[in-house]
Chain A
């Protein structure tokens, strides 16, 4: 090998060590579809739970067997108890969500669109946010009693923070260049808000909405475990007193399903509102 001279013209190529790029062989043998593979874990988990219950390793007053849970769910649905509990809880969640949502949207719009509003509102909301809202339950009971009001207030509070911060952030994140372009095109203040700022804030608002719905169910669980006379939380509380672990599990599953459904609705909404973001043309 000669010493490399940086000024020398490139000579004939010296021996280059080559490797062969092997075509990747597809592994033959047992390949399960991905969907099947992904269900193996949950199924195994349920099976282990069933076996543990059936053999008596898991006593029913610790955790009921999955079979009992299912039959309890059927039972509760058949006698209408579960349905009415879901309706009651759903109504609380919806009322609280609408209340907190409207307050949050109003505050975020004022703070996002006006400098004065920002100065007055944003710091205040930021301060209140540092209070863990679950800790407000005792105060809410003193203020609002033990009927529907404290539960709805708790949901409203939990909903308003994520919605406020994401909507406010979304408004402030709208590209200044687009606002300038809108102004040059002759849009006035109202036109800018309607055609540029609000549509630009939708992605942020949807993120906020998803968080808000998550918080709404969480707040409901907390609110309902305190002094409820109907609803899913009440069902759970009475079940606790009689060690009915199967009912508790049914209620937990119901909460989870309600959360999933609301998340699904927001995703649908997002797909509709943000169709401009993907290259998919919608037709």
Chain B
């Protein structure tokens, strides 16, 4: 086995008296797509922020690739910078418009480089945010519920786009979500967080694009929902896991 891209051992994070991450271990292989599931407030965004380097008040061992990029739940574009300038913001050297347009092209927005972010739709802004992450050629791409605020149709398109981009760039991805179906559609491996640690994990051995009606898919969904404490109403009794 190759060296993991991300290696976390015994990670603890406390907010005052509240312990959000407890002795957490996690490994992510290079090029692996990992989804992180959990109830809101379970600490998954905290973990992502730690891996991103935004939050460093921690105990434990955290090893991450040097080149990381984040796309947040809201696109967080600077409204006073044209779209292309947002994409290359923070890169060393002079802002390179051609580079920005190349990455905007990848997310299907090559023609939108010169507009203000306020003129974009929610889905477009989120794609710009993806382009802004990818232009950094990250070895680890951290996605914090990036499609949480999108409508179902836009979301499905965005999910497909993420898979395409991941295949092209071959980076490791940590995708934080609370949507079980989304995690199963996208990830190689789904981790379920509970009480500040990785409580469960499941490998999704299905070819992409995946079919939500596939029996294996349904079974996995039932298992994940069970771990999250939600009954899967759409699962047939015979596919519900025994425990």
Contact = CB atoms under 8 A, between A and B. Distances in A.
Q: Do A and B come from one complex?
A: yes
Interface of A: 177-178, 180-187, 191, 195-196, 199-200, 202, 275-279, 281
B68 to A, nearest CB: 8
B118 interface: yes
14 contacts: A177-B74, A180-B76, A182-B78, A186-B90, A186-B92, A195-B81, A275-B116, A276-B79, A276-B80, A276-B81, A276-B116, A276-B117, A278-B118, A281-B119
Main SS at interface, chain A: helix
Given A185-B89, A191-B90, A180 B54 contact: yes
B95 to A, nearest CB: 10
B72 interface: yes
A178 B72 CA distance: 11
Interface of B: 52-54, 69-70, 72, 74, 76, 78-81, 89-92, 115-119, 132, 136
A184 B80 contact: no
Given A276-B116, A277-B118, A184 B74 contact: no
A180 B69 CA distance: 13
A199 B78 contact: yes
Main SS at interface, chain B: loop
B72 A187 contact: no
B78 A195 contact: yes
Given A195-B89, A276-B80, 7 more contacts: A181-B76, A181-B78, A182-B78, A183-B54, A184-B69, A185-B89, A196-B78
B72 A181 contact: yes
A186 B91 contact: yes
Contacts of B79: 276-277
Contacts of A178: 76, 78
Nearest to A196: B78
B89 A182 contact: yes
Contacts of A281: 115-116, 119
A224 B69 CA distance: 60
Contact of B80 (A181, A183, A200): A200
Given A177-B74, A281-B115, A281-B119, A182 B80 contact: no
A122 B119 CA distance: 37
Contacts of A277: 79, 118
A233 to B, nearest CB: 41
A276 B119 CA distance: 9
B78 A184 contact: no
Most buried by B among A180, A200, A278: A180
